[in-house]
Amino acid sequence: MASASVRFEPGEYEWLAERNGVLFLGHTDLGMVEFLITSEALAEFIDPDLDGIDSDTAIETYGEFESDIHRIARREFVSRLGGEPPVLLTAADVWDEPLQSRRP
């Protein structure tokens, strides 16, 4: 039986202007899964009062918090039993997880 876990490789991400977020890939026993974290969710890592961030800041923020984002994505993937790709991560998903590296 295939495992429900998902694994991530650092650096596998790109900005998607049409979705206003960062697309990144997860690997399961059944193949690749797309995840998308919105710019609003990424803004939560640097300043919860922001409504969103530009693409350059989003990419920089994703790189800085990549391990936290992967942990959130893994939790959401398991809790949603996969779901339709891409698995969308929003600001609400960020606040569901206590993060040690989030800026004060």
Domain extent at residue 59: 7-95
Bridge partners, 37 (sequence order):
22, 89
Please indicate, yes or no, if residue 45 is contained in any of the structural domains.
yes
Is position 1 within any domain?
Answer: no
Domain for residue 2, yes or no? no
> What is the model's pLDDT at position 5?
83
**How many independent structural domains does the chain possess?**
1
- What CATH number corresponds to the domain at position 20? 3.30.160.140
Strands 31-38 and 87-89: parallel
> 92: part of which helix (H) or strand (E)?
helix 91-95
The predicted model scores a pTM of: 0.81
DSSP string, 51-89: S---HHHHHHHHHHTHHHHHHHHHHHHHHTTS-SSSEEE
pLDDT (tens digit, 0 to 9) for every residue of the chain, 104 residues total?
445 588 999 988 999 999 999 999 999 888 888 999 999 999 999 988 887 799 999 999 999 999 999 999 988 888 877 566 678 888 888 876 555 444 44
